[in-house]
């Protein structure tokens, strides 16, 4: 789909991709079917989902059982993806999380957030676009935030505006 096409045009062969809320790994299957060999790390709170996802594991794949908000990584990522999983984050948390994810990105890295139903979840779309006014809109349901557009400001500073 459009997400894989975007990754294809914005990532290199050896890029590092982190998916938060990966479920059973359907994005990884699509990425591999498209011939991409990115290093991929899938994170999900469900051990059941991670166990299912491991069926598609290869030497460039890692899996972590964790919730989205508490996951941290000492590694730098070229892309952090939330594919239909941002709604598992409390609405007030994205400013803090985007600032934290910024520190987990390479200089050219980005956060891609896809929302299945942007009308139903317009509160998330509005919040994200308010805190990062320079988001790249891929289509009605996909927003991309480049590292240099993400704020280093704290959650308190962002919400006081």
> What is the per-residue pLDDT across 8-64, written as a single tens digit (0 to 9) for each?
999 999 999 999 999 999 999 999 999 999 999 999 999 999 999 999 889 999 999
CA angle 27, 4, 73 (to 5 degrees): 60
pLDDT of residue 65: 96
Q: Residue 156 pLDDT more than 70?
A: no
DSSP 102-146: HTTEEEEEEEEEE-S-TTTTHHHHHHHHHH-TT-EEEETTEEEEE
Indicate the pTM of the whole model.
0.90
Angle between helix 26-33 and 2-10 (nearest 10)? 60
């Amino acid at each position: 789909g459009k997400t894989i096409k975007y990754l294809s045009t914005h990532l290199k062969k050896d890029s590092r991709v982190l998916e938060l809320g990966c479920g059973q790994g359907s994005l990884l299957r699509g990425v591999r079917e498209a011939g991409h060999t990115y290093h991929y790390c899938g994170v999900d709170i469900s051990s059941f989902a991670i166990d299912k996802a491991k069926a598609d594991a290869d030497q460039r794949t890692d899996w972590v059982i964790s919730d989205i908000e508490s996951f941290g990584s000492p590694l730098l990522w070229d892309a952090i993806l939330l594919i239909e999983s941002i709604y598992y984050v409390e609405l007030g948390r994205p400013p803090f999380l985007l600032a934290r994810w910024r520190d987990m990105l390479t200089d050219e890295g980005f956060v891609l957030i896809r929302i299945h139903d942007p009308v139903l979840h317009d509160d998330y779309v509005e919040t994200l676009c308010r805190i990062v006014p320079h988001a790249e809109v891929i289509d009605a349901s996909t927003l991309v935030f480049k590292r240099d557009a993400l704020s280093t400001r704290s959650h308190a500073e962002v919400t006081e505006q």
